[in-house]
């Protein structure tokens, strides 16, 4: 695992807000004095790390709400993403797009202006910026119906963004000197090929990535000059005022981010942007899609033993958690859970946090067992487990919305300034099988029987609609 520290933040000379370049006025740092200065490459790269952290935390907050993972139980965050209702004029949509664009433009500026002008710049800095730029293209592909990549440019399709990411990662990989950095490039390429539905290439890259079964790349928070993890504040506070509540069957995975230091600002947990679990899951899904169920079982069980079981955990006191947002009552004592009305009751998913410490899964956790994997005998049963594992493993990392087939539209802010944005780009993609009226987050509590019943098992719904556009890319 490689961690980066944030240095004194650079006053950025160019920022991008929905593809509009904005000059930042700062009396201490001017473009002509910064470009070519002795430490400009170092400062810009540090600023890029900070911007990556900001972008990832923001994306995580909003995409987790859109999905069935979390419900906004009372904060000032989006009140409509839980429905889910996504409009191109929503300011949150504009801010998410602007964050990706800003990061993309800062990478471009660093690669074309800052690094070439600094005689002391290193190939490793170029590699890092290339990787970050590739990541922004991945996010554009995974989260939006399409997105421009240049100022007032045409709206590029997800396919174009993924292929651009692959090219950038190909350029970055040989510049890295650390073996794990090169494996991260392979893993991110696997993710891009996965989205393209190219099972053969995705498997090749994923098999390379799991040369290190504990591969992990994170963005950091709470360092001396780094930003706070805004999503952490929504799922954990020592006061118990935790605004976001997880779906009850995911209760055991919350919180992934927390502080044990009384000063929360000094204990901000990182968010993963690449980890080996994804490689195993890509390989397994490719095998399931080609009906190699035996190979998929072996791959998933290997992931549990070689990877998930070895990830860091913390014994955490979470007694302040009361799930008392006011909009909806959540279970706060240990109860059985049914994934939907037709499912069997299961224990251990909903925790009583008053009886002692809980186990906090800092990177990955799951309740799926080797026995359950061995018991899956059909393609649909195996697909169900793959997507349940994807949901649990990527919990609180901003990945679930994409698996559900939901995409943000291009924002109104972009539409007003860019004639290349057409009416079809301003419509969110909302698959017909997605429940409305906040039903993805809905459940019933039977206090007499001690059972919580989830209204919809969305992994079951996904399998039932496996040939629908925008989901399960190896099937379609």
Instruction: Identify the band that residue 13 occupies on the pLDDT scale cut at 50, 70 and 90.
Output: very low
| Domain CATH number, residue 123 | 1.25.40.390
How many Å apart are CA 410 and CA 143, to the nearest integer? 10
Give residue 35's pLDDT: 84
Q: Is residue 4 part of a domain?
A: no
Q: Is residue 1 part of a domain?
A: no
**Residues spanned by the domain of 419:** 14-464
Q: Is residue 8 part of a domain?
A: no
Give residue 225's pLDDT: 60
- Please determine, for residue 25, whether its predicted confidence score (pLDDT) is greater than 70: no
Instruction: Identify the band that residue 222 occupies on the pLDDT scale cut at 50, 70 and 90.
Output: confident
Q: What is the pLDDT of residues 48-94, one digit of tens each?
A: 999 999 999 999 999 999 999 999 987 778 989 999 999 999 999 99
Q: Is residue 372 part of a domain?
A: yes
Q: Is residue 211 part of a domain?
A: yes
Q: Is residue 470 part of a domain?
A: no
Q: What is the pLDDT of residues 308-351, one digit of tens each?
A: 999 999 999 999 888 866 678 899 899 999 999 999 999 999 99
* pTM score of the predicted model: 0.93
Contact assessment for residue 92 and residue 428, using Cβ atoms and an 8 Å cutoff = no
**Residue 21 corresponds to which tokens in the numbers above?**
């370049």
Quote the number of domains for the chain: 1
Contact assessment for residue 360 and residue 256, using Cβ atoms and an 8 Å cutoff = yes
Is the pLDDT higher at 318 or at 37?
318
Mean pLDDT value across residues 124-130: 99
- Please determine, for residue 15, whether its predicted confidence score (pLDDT) is greater than 50: no
Mean pLDDT value across residues 418-444: 98
Give residue 20's pLDDT: 37
Q: Is residue 471 part of a domain?
A: no
- Please determine, for residue 22, whether its predicted confidence score (pLDDT) is greater than 50: no
Give residue 238's pLDDT: 72
Q: Is residue 469 part of a domain?
A: no
């Amino acid at each position: 695992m490689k961690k980066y520290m944030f240095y004194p933040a650079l006053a950025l000379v160019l920022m991008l807000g929905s593809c509009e370049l904005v000059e930042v006025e700062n009396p201490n740092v001017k473009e002509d004095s910064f470009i070519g200065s002795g430490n400009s490459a170092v400062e810009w790269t540090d600023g890029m790390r900070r911007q990556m952290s900001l972008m990832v935390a923001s994306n995580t907050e909003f995409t987790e709400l859109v999905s069935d993972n979390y419900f906004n139980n009372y904060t000032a965050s989006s009140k409509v993403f839980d429905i889910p209702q996504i409009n191109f004029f929503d300011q949150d949509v504009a801010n998410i797009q602007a964050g990706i664009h800003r990061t993309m433009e800062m990478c471009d500026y660093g690669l074309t202006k800052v690094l070439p002008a600094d005689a002391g710049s290193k190939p490793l800095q170029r590699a890092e910026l290339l990787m970050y730029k590739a990541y922004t293209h991945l996010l554009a592909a995974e989260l939006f119906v399409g997105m421009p990549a240049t100022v007032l440019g045409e709206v590029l399709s997800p396919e174009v963004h993924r292929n651009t990411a692959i090219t950038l990662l190909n350029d970055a990989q040989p510049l890295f000197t650390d073996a794990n950095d090169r494996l991260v490039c392979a893993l991110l390429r696997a993710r891009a090929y996965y989205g393209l539905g190219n099972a053969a290439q995705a498997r090749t890259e994923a098999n390379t990535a799991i040369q290190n079964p504990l591969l992990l790349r994170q963005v950091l928070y709470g360092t001396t000059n780094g930003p706070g993890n805004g999503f952490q504040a929504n799922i954990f506070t020592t006061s118990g005022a935790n605004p976001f509540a997880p779906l009850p069957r995911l209760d055991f995975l919350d919180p992934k981010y927390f502080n044990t230091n009384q000063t929360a600002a000094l204990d901000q947990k990182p968010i993963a942007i690449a980890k080996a679990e994804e490689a195993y899951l890509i390989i397994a899904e490719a095998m399931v899609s080609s009906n190699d169920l035996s190979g998929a079982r072996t791959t998933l069980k290997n992931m549990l033993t070689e990877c998930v079981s070895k990830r860091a955990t913390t014994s955490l006191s979470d007694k302040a958690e009361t799930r008392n947002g006011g909009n909806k009552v959540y279970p706060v004592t240990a109860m059985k859970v049914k994934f939907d009305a037709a499912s069997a009751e299961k224990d251990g998913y909903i925790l009583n946090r008053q009886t002692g410490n809980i186990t906090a899964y800092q990177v990955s956790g799951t309740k799926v067992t080797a026995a359950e994997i061995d018991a899956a005998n059909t393609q649909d049963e195996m697909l169900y487990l793959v997507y349940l594992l994807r949901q649990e493993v990527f919990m609180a990392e901003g990945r679930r919305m994409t698996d559900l087939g939901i995409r943000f539209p291009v924002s109104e802010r972009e539409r007003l300034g860019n004639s290349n944005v057409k009416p079809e780009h301003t419509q969110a993609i909302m698959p017909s099988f997605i429940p409305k009226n906040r039903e993805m987050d809905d459940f019933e509590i039977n206090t007499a029987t001690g059972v919580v019943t989830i209204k919809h098992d969305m992994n079951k719904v996904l399998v039932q609609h496996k040939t629908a556009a925008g989901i399960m890319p190896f099937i379609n």
